[in-house]
Amino acid sequence: MRVGALAQGADRRRHPRYTVDEAAHLLLVDHGLDLECRVLDMSLEGCRLHAEEDLPEVFHVRVEVTFQINGIPFRLGGTIRRVTAAQDLGISFVEMSARRHAEWAEVLAEIQSEHHEHAKHLRVLR
């Protein structure tokens, strides 16, 4: 997994998001459509994906996102909150069990730690 900086831009999220680059599958539940994508960034509340192919009208559609982070597989349910012309999708996670939420928070803490170590290493190299 490639870990980058905190994702940039105006943000209404309550939790930080982290730049990553991971393969993912996006299932549009009501359409029965399974798409290849990339996870571009993630937070405790959701993620941003890039779809590899053109999408039908999908705003507020129920989805399942499947991917691996730090070797741990995740299949998280959510809804599409935003779609850009570049085929980027903003996913808001919903209906996550308390156990899965705790696992997700732990993985994000690991990503945050990796981000800080990477940033510290870059400062030393300068």
Residue 10 pLDDT grade (very low, low, confident, very high; cuts 50, 70, 90): very low
3 occurs within a structural domain: no
Q: What is the span of the domain harbouring residue 102?
A: 18-125
- Indicate the pTM of the whole model: 0.78
7 occurs within a structural domain: no
Q: 3-state secondary structure string, the chain?
A: CCCCCECCCCCCCCCCCEEEEEEEEEEECCCCEEEEEEEEEECCCEEEEEECCCCCCCCCCEEEEEEEECCEEEEEEEEEEEECCCCEEEEEECCCCHHHHHHHHHHHHHHHHHHHHHHHHHHHHC
Greater pLDDT, 6 or 105: 105
Q: What is the CATH number of the domain that holds 40?
A: 2.40.10.220
User: Which pLDDT belongs to residue 125?
Assistant: 66
95 occurs within a structural domain: yes
12 occurs within a structural domain: no
40 occurs within a structural domain: yes
Per-residue model confidence as pLDDT tens digits over 29-46: 988 889 999 999 999 999
| Beta-carbon count within 10 A of 96 CB | 17
Alpha-carbon 89 to chain mean position = 10
Q: Would the pLDDT of 1 be above 80?
A: no
98 occurs within a structural domain: yes
Q: How many structural domains are present in the chain?
A: 1
